Amino acid sequence: MQDGARPNRTEKLFRFLDEYFGNRVIALDYPKFTGTEMDWPPYSPDLTPCDYFLWGSWKDIVYRNHPSKLDELESAICVAYNSISVETLKDVMSNFILRLRHFIFSNYEHFENIVF
């Protein structure tokens, strides 16, 4: 999910998720399909490394030279991808774990304005 786009929540997708992951799925509207109780908090970019780190970081690198053609954009995306160090990814994942712990501590409620 990117830029506020709604996720795919079709019955076919939920059946697939249920078959392969069972009760380990946390997704918007999944409880309505399965009758389980835990729902993914709507619009929770605080929990998604791609939302709170990757897109912003990559956007700066990708659009630095204002690509105007598809091949230029593709090349810029590859440069951005290769520019992220393993150490940075480890830091992002450590931060992700902290965010998940905060989410659990908040009793699975929405949280915002937390600096990690």
Summarised one tens digit per residue, pLDDT across range 50-100 is: 777 777 788 888 999 899 999 999 999 999 989 889 998 898 888 888 888
The whole-number pLDDT of residue 90 equals 92
DSSP type of residue 45 = G
Matching residue, tokens 């990117």: 2
Q: Which residue has the tokens 């506020």?
A: 4
Indicate the domain borders of the chain: 1-41, 45-106
**pTM (two decimals):** 0.51
Q: Which residue has the tokens 């996720």?
A: 7
Res 26: pLDDT: 67
Please list, residue by residue across 5-42, b when 16 or more beta carbons sit within 10 angstroms of its beta carbon and e when fewer do: eeeeeeeeebeebeeeeeeebebbebeebbeeeeebee
Higher-confidence residue: 97 or 4? 97
Which pLDDT does position 20 carry in this prediction? Answer: 83
Any idea which residue has 């091949």 for tokens? 71
The backbone region for 112, taken as left when phi is positive above 0, alpha when psi lies in -120 to 50, beta otherwise, is beta
Q: What is the rounded CA–CA span in Å between residue 6 and residue 47? A: 16
